Amino acid sequence: MLIIFDLDGTLYDRAGQVPDNYTEQDLQQLKPFPGVKEFLQSFSGTKILVTKETDPGLQDKKINALGIRPYFHSIYICHTDEEKKKSFQEIQQQFPGEELVVVGDRIDLEVKFGKELGLKTVWMRQGKHRDRRPQEYWEVPDYEISEFSELAEVLPSPP
């Protein structure tokens, strides 16, 4: 099994920890959600991070501050939502036959794109997008969790 992770709001509390007028010091203090490092460490499948950048270099700084870089097989830093979907597609092509799961806090982005591509989707229902209701079929996740530590329980078990 291969898991594609979103970063902001999925692996750490974006809204709670990075104010809009963030400083370098805010970034240095970033902490992943409880259970994130433990999961990344113990999950033996391939892990890939796909994240969209707003400010140049910002995602790299966050990834370093969170101390999660070594856990990922690869990291895609995108600049548009379309690029994010294309990255999912590229990963799909790189790992044919692999069961792909995408974990994200946006049903209108990671869940929608994942589902459109036929991936299993997990909605990390946290932070400012937690109250959004699915607007269409493609936004309905396969699984929903409200804490990262629930992820292992909902992952599809291998056939």
Where along the sequence are the contacts to Mg ion (CB under 5 A)? 6, 8-9, 105
Residue that has been written with the tokens 């209701």 in this structure:
133
Q: Which is nearer to Mg ion, 62 or 120 (CB)?
A: 62
**Least gap, CB of 41 to Mg ion (angstroms):** 22
Residues 26/105/32/81 CA torsion (nearest 10 deg): -60
**Least gap, CB of 144 to Mg ion (angstroms):** 15
27 by Cβ neighbours in 10 Å (0-12 / 13-18 / 19+) ranks as: middle
Q: How far apart are CA 10 and CA 66, in angstroms?
A: 12
**Least gap, CB of 52 to Mg ion (angstroms):** 8
Residues 35/10/152/2 CA torsion (nearest 10 deg): -120
Q: Which is nearer to Mg ion, 150 or 159 (CB)?
A: 150
- Asked if residue 54 lies in contact with residue 78, where contact means CB atoms within 8 angstroms, the answer is no
Q: Which is nearer to Mg ion, 145 or 158 (CB)?
A: 145
Q: Which is nearer to Mg ion, 6 or 139 (CB)?
A: 6
Q: Which is nearer to Mg ion, 105 or 139 (CB)?
A: 105
Closest chain position to Mg ion (CB): 9
**Least gap, CB of 105 to Mg ion (angstroms):** 4
**Least gap, CB of 97 to Mg ion (angstroms):** 28
